[in-house]
Amino acid sequence: MLDLPKLYFIGGQSYSGSNFDLWEYDLSTNNLTRLYKTKPTDIGTHGHACQLIKEGNSSLIYTLYGMTNKMNDLYCKIRMIDITETDKITVKVTKEKPDHMTCRGNFGFSYDGQSMVIVGGEVFPNFVMKDIFWITFTGEYREQYSHPLFEPLSGSAVLAFADYVFIFSGFHDGSFSIDSDLSSSLYLTGFSGNLYCGYGFYRVDGYCEPCGEGTYKPTYDGVCLECPPGTTHDLKAAMHISQCVPCPSGTFFNEESKKCESCPEGTLCPVGSSVALNSTAMKLEQQSQPKNFNQPSMGWSMTILGSIFGFSILIFIIIFCSAFLFKVIFSVYDVYRGEHIIPRGETSYEEDKTKISFVGGFFTGLVMIIINFNFALFIINYVYKNEDELRSLVPMISLVQDQDYSNNHLILEIYMYSYRDDCSNIIEIESSFFNTTYAYFDEIDVGDNITACNHVIDIDFNTLFTTGSSIKIGLKEYTSDISVTLSGKSGNPGVDSSYTQIVTPTDGLVFKGNDPTIFSFSLMPAYYSYKGLFGQLSEYLGFRVSSFVAPVMGSLSSIENIYLETGFNIEVMFIMSESGMTTYRFHSIDPISLVILMLASVPGLMELCAFFVRSYERIYYLVKRVKVGYEGASVAEQYNKLKNQENNNRPEPEDINEKDKEN
């Protein structure tokens, strides 16, 4: 019984007698597996008929009649073996014995989609039948007799096709008789009532015609199916999808010409392409790592701040000169009242100290603008220049001793093109070191009828390894392009480290077979320390992912044999680096210190403006040739001088008493 790429065998005769073992032979892996072993309650048979029938999601094997031992005792029952779940195979008798047909074994048989055709057969040694029966054993049981052969036959080769049955050769006197002679006859007999044409043929006006190029028919009934997009063939009466050969890598299937044509320059055509893909669909070998820290550029900040500063001073000058009330307000609150030079005699201080100075008001407003923009300059420098970072390489062992590398997590992505447009085949994952979980898959439409499958696997491990550890992955597809990406936390908060490796075979071959394609990645432990604005410490752990060596290709197959190979394998190797990376990011100054520095700059700015006030007044009165009270003296200086003179002229208490006595 054939169900590509598998063959099934049930029962048979050995030196120990007949059995009822069920075997499965996988053409793609060359593996023979016993699915069911004969139980004590089972009756082994040989010389029986058998047929695999798929009903919905069920896979059922039927056996009809046969012989039970070397004495050729007959077994007259029909059994059904449910192999839908190979680990829960069940056996059930559906018919105890034929209604009218004589029970027999070692007969010729063939299934035509409706009934099992039974030709001749042996009742017991040296007694051979020559009749033909059609047995309907699924659904309602029926038997139908046909015209007999011209000679008794057993063990014949039989092919039931549409309304015809071909019968060739066989034994005249039973296959177990030493005197039996062989028949060289070829029979063709008709049968009315069969609605099916069989595999590879379809019915047209009562006749069975072969399916044409690029089509196939894998069932007894129904119509011819077109080969999947991106595949074709030049056969007649193709019966299985395996006969649809995908277009080689570098070509695509042209719907108009119905042929595989070369991929246009600048486009991508993986194996089985139905259209040429845009180059943006290509996945390139690449990596993503945290960027080196560079203090951000101020850009236009200083230019903008300087422009606003100049514009603010200009606006202030215009308003100060044009708005009298504005001028008076600033002059009344003159912060440089004690710094002015008085253009009068020394005795005029009491009068001048009550007067306002527009010069003082002007510089008062000016120093307020300067102080505010000085604060803005502090803040801009704090934002752009306050943070810094140091990186260094250290021995991996010392980093592991200081840090707890547990609960580590990586993500493995396998990206490939699939002409089947189906990524739902669950992959097989095996690893002796890592805890792996198949997370999910994505079906990414990259073109008409072309799907890119992205399988995602979560990898967890609690201890670091010093030697290479690996994950073995089995996929039930085939492809001409494999992309493997390994990613994980880099240590830097919010930034992942990843590396993508790509491998593509040449000569139109595809990945198919048992030998794995090996991808090797290097992992470097990383430690990140961040000191916050107020000294709080945050620590992060991760890995820097990179390529260790170039991928090594595994088993390859020609596109004509893809269905004779089941899937392909990938092995991902992990190599731990001997070095680790440490990163320390910190702030040069905290916000409180910034505020203190900003406030500490205020007296200096005010004194600077006071210098400009005095310089302006000296130059102004010098140019105007106006005599000042005390040469070059300010109000405060003159006030102190007058006070000193007044104190010097004040009489002592003894002198006052003597004058009183004289009076």
**CATH classification at residue 22:** 2.120.10.80
Cα–Cα dist 348/185, whole Å: 151
Name the residue range of residue 359's domain. Answer: 301-385+592-649
The secondary structure element, H or E, covering residue 371 is helix 358-385
Cα–Cα dist 542/496, whole Å: 9
451 and 482 both lie in a single domain: yes
34 and 131 both lie in a single domain: yes
438 and 576 both lie in a single domain: yes
Cα–Cα dist 364/330, whole Å: 7
Strands 496-503 and 286-288: antiparallel
- Structural contact between residues 347 and 279, judged by C-beta atoms closer than 8 angstroms: no
How much of the chain exceeds pLDDT 70, in percent? 86
In a domain, 296, yes or no: no
167 and 45 both lie in a single domain: yes
In a domain, 655, yes or no: no
38 and 185 both lie in a single domain: yes
36: left (phi over 0), alpha (psi -120 to 50) or beta: beta
In a domain, 536, yes or no: yes
Across the chain, mean pLDDT equals 83
Cα–Cα dist 318/314, whole Å: 6
Cα–Cα dist 104/116, whole Å: 14
In a domain, 267, yes or no: yes
Query: How many CB atoms lie under 10 A from the CB of residue 654?
Result: 8
426 and 527 both lie in a single domain: yes
pLDDT digits (tens, 9 = 90+) for 67-107: 998 777 899 999 999 999 989 999 999 999 999 999 999 99
In a domain, 295, yes or no: no
In a domain, 662, yes or no: no
163 and 272 both lie in a single domain: no
Last residue of a domain, one of 190, 219, 242: 190
- Structural contact between residues 240 and 219, judged by C-beta atoms closer than 8 angstroms: no
148 and 166 both lie in a single domain: yes
Q: Specify the pLDDT at position 349.
A: 45
pLDDT digits (tens, 9 = 90+) for 155-181: 899 988 767 889 998 888 766 555 667
Q: Specify the pLDDT at position 653.
A: 57
Q: Specify the pLDDT at position 268.
A: 82
Mean pLDDT of 245-274: 84
Q: Specify the pLDDT at position 265.
A: 85
Token pair, residue 63, equals 């056996």
336 and 473 both lie in a single domain: no
Mean pLDDT of 554-573: 80
Strands 517-531 and 579-587: parallel
Mean pLDDT of 534-555: 90
Cα–Cα dist 162/164, whole Å: 6
In a domain, 174, yes or no: yes
Q: Specify the pLDDT at position 613.
A: 84
465 and 515 both lie in a single domain: yes
In a domain, 290, yes or no: no
Is the model's pLDDT at 277 over the cut of 50?
yes
Q: What is the pTM of this model?
A: 0.64
437 and 558 both lie in a single domain: yes
130 and 215 both lie in a single domain: no
Please tell me the total count of domains within the chain. Answer: 4
